[in-house]
Structure 1
């Protein structure tokens, strides 16, 4: 396998932020091999992926076999001490008639191992994922490069359409770079592909409120493995919009940590102030209806987008606007509806009485 082929595989982790373990499963390349490639890439860039690349340039040469033996033992779960490593490799070198490396050389080889590769080999993939995966720690470099989408059941009881108490859901579309909320939907019942499509429709298209400037088509959409996120409906729509969907590892919100934190913010800052909030030891009386809760969430999102964010030191709105740029938009709202909202009967889903999304004229 040449350097270019290695990079095509490794870039799924480096650029697309797919966990290394997932890349190993899909590509068939062992996770330890991928970790070695990653270590070489971090040290020397793309040149490090070439088979002729040498990591010991400018250093005293050591025969390849003792180096491989040192690295193999140092990456074993029963990792021996440096002194034991030196003794074992010396015995092996003498047996093969090659020069034995010095104690300092063995120590240098062990010290030069990439920490991520050591963690993967000794502590296993779970520890590696927690310590070294890029997805939770890496911020997109520009607006609309990466969006995160997720649902949560809200900690509030409202009056349902049938008059019975109902616990609603919230879908949120968040821009990774700016932390801006680009779209949302409050609804009753379990999450569905259509609810997700409605939230995406609002996130992508121009809003009637000029203060809510976020719009456009993202390059990447981080989602989980919920049935709505893996539906053929959403898959076809995002494919035609040229959006790449990345699914996080099952049971772990990698790539969606920021939207998870927003859910915590809306629960503590908004829902706790509303009647019907589910608080420990308190009786929840369903007072609000879905349209009233939707309006409260909309006002809160406007406030959230406009206030300074602790991590990025500016407001999500200002971070998304930046120095001014043109987002990628569909040709028309009708074209967007045709992709996102068309159901098998070839009809287009219209707005309900909540007026959560509204048809705006094409500018």
Structure 2
């Protein structure tokens, strides 16, 4: 008897996998629907006494098929009417062989299909199993659950980030939750020394409206100072009409970077009455909204600027960091804030403004500066003022503190003025008289220093060139000429000498 005949005899009636009247097996829901349809036909015969021959003619189903369904119903009840999924065809091998192939595919380090094929056929030869083809091994490996493969080969974190469900939450109102994060931009610009650098961007986004409340472009690694400066810009009202976002948030959502976990930021949060919440370690999904903005910035702004890293094989910078800052401000304020966001279905600016509301603000900008300007340097007050970074700051109120040690606080983006503190008390605001009406940054000072160094190096090269002109390379310097004793013998004295003198 053939294997197919055995299968048909052993299978329950009505559940024959080779039944020509049944469709291909599907999901359990499909099975239930088919079983229900079969029962509705048989119910007319069982309950109403309609002959099976009549039902076969009405529903265009073979009489033999209805008889098998009826017999299966009498033996197994309604479950007997469910179709059976057809078995996999073309594969005749022990279950241990399949488990071996899957185990090798899941084991570390990852193996190629060719390596698995070679290894399992060696085992098959030793166990007396029939060897299998490469395509069979590939089909077995291809049927492994992708989630199982990711978990086995890449670990829990990769599986979680790819397959676990994510609950996307939105804040209930503007300024309820702010997100802060950094990214290294995919562009080269000129720094203050006219050297190509890849800048960093720190942004603060309102979770409810997706609006950017503040940002900062800088060179060097992210720091608590940069974070404080961005937070200061985000909180205090801007001067542009297309950037109304401001105020103190209820919650600041950040990662576990050292700049976000600093004691100074924690103290500022306590003084300004907002809460800092840290995302789960190695779980970037919570910061997906701000990461999405970084992607938008890359594709829509940076890709059309000179110096973009992915435009040409060896990109050259074409903008200064100040010019990039201007381009970014225009993109955010006049483009990103004014267009409809796909997820919230309105523009970020309109979503933030809502029907009109008053954000919570510090009383004065001086109070905000005192909390967030972390740069504090001790100095001695001299008779001509306070000296700092090559500049001299003066104020009439410093006259009472000549010779005293004070603490200076300042904004690195504008050092034309500083805040002076004595024993924890604010004394005054001191200004540099030569830049009283100008904005002087650390970058300007560094640029001036670099220019001075280049000037000195040029003068050094000129003098070295002069030396090389008179002393060609490889020629030792000429020593001063010394008199030759043999050429000029010493004249003997003509004075008479005595025996006692010799």
Pair in the same fold by TM > 0.5: yes
In structure 2, what is the equivalent of residue 350 of structure 1? 411
* Displacement of 1:340: 0.6
* Displacement of 1:281: 4.8
Alpha-carbon distance in 1 for matches of 2:244, 2:204:
14
Alpha-carbon distance in 2 for matches of 1:125, 1:267:
26
Q: Which has the larger radius of gyration?
A: 2
In structure 2, what is the equivalent of residue 335 of structure 1? 367
Deviations 1:184-226 (A, max 9, x none): 0000000011101111111100100122110000011111111
Whether 2:157 is the aligned partner of 1:156: answer no
Pair 1:356–1:174, CA change in 2 (3 A): farther
Gaps of 5+ in 1: 1-123, 358-363
In structure 1, what is the equivalent of residue 227 of structure 2? 196
Whether 2:205 is the aligned partner of 1:144: answer no
Gaps of 5+ in 2: 1-155, 378-406, 416-438, 442-502
In structure 2, what is the equivalent of residue 234 of structure 1? 265
In structure 2, what is the equivalent of residue 177 of structure 1? 208
Alpha-carbon distance in 2 for matches of 1:133, 1:309:
20
Q: Aligned with 1:256: secondary structure?
A: helix
In structure 2, what is the equivalent of residue 312 of structure 1? 344
Is residue 185–residue 199 contact of structure 1 (8 Å, CA) maintained in 2?
Answer: yes
Alpha-carbon distance in 1 for matches of 2:353, 2:208:
11
Alpha-carbon distance in 2 for matches of 1:341, 1:335:
10
Pair 1:300–1:191, CA change in 2 (3 A): same
* Displacement of 1:249: 1.6
Alpha-carbon distance in 2 for matches of 1:351, 1:125:
39
* Displacement of 1:243: 1.3
Residues paired across the two proteins, number: 233
1:324 to 341, 356, 360: 356
Q: Aligned with 1:349: secondary structure?
A: strand
Deviations 1:315-353 (A, max 9, x none): 000000001011111111111111111434343222526
* Displacement of 1:242: 1.2
Matches within 5 A, 1:1-363: 131-132=164-165, 134=167, 137-279=168-310, 281-302=312-333, 303-345=335-377, 346-350=407-411, 352=413
Q: Aligned with 1:319: secondary structure?
A: helix
Deviations 1:17-70 (A, max 9, x none): xxxxxxxxxxxxxxxxxxxxxxxxxxxxxxxxxxxxxxxxxxxxxxxxxxxxxx
Pair 1:269–1:133, CA change in 2 (3 A): closer
Deviations 1:60-111 (A, max 9, x none): xxxxxxxxxxxxxxxxxxxxxxxxxxxxxxxxxxxxxxxxxxxxxxxxxxxx
Q: Aligned with 1:195: secondary structure?
A: helix
Pair 1:128–1:274, CA change in 2 (3 A): closer
Alpha-carbon distance in 2 for matches of 1:185, 1:169:
8
Alpha-carbon distance in 2 for matches of 1:132, 1:212:
35
* Displacement of 1:289: 0.6
Alpha-carbon distance in 2 for matches of 1:318, 1:140:
16
The structure whose residues are more often strand, as a share, is 2
Alpha-carbon distance in 1 for matches of 2:210, 2:440:
21
CA RMSD of aligned residues (A): 2.4
Task: Spell out structure 1 runs of 4+ moving beyond 6 A.
Answer: 124-130, 353-357
Alpha-carbon distance in 1 for matches of 2:329, 2:186:
17
Is residue 157–residue 282 contact of structure 2 (8 Å, CA) maintained in 1?
Answer: no
Alpha-carbon distance in 2 for matches of 1:253, 1:242:
26
Which fold has the larger relative contact order, with Cα–Cα distance below 8 Å and residues 6 or more apart in sequence?
Answer: 1
Deviations 1:244-283 (A, max 9, x none): 1111122222431100000000000000010000016532
* Displacement of 1:133: 5.4
Is residue 303–residue 311 contact of structure 2 (8 Å, CA) maintained in 1?
Answer: no
Alpha-carbon distance in 2 for matches of 1:254, 1:271:
24
Is residue 185–residue 356 contact of structure 1 (8 Å, CA) maintained in 2?
Answer: no
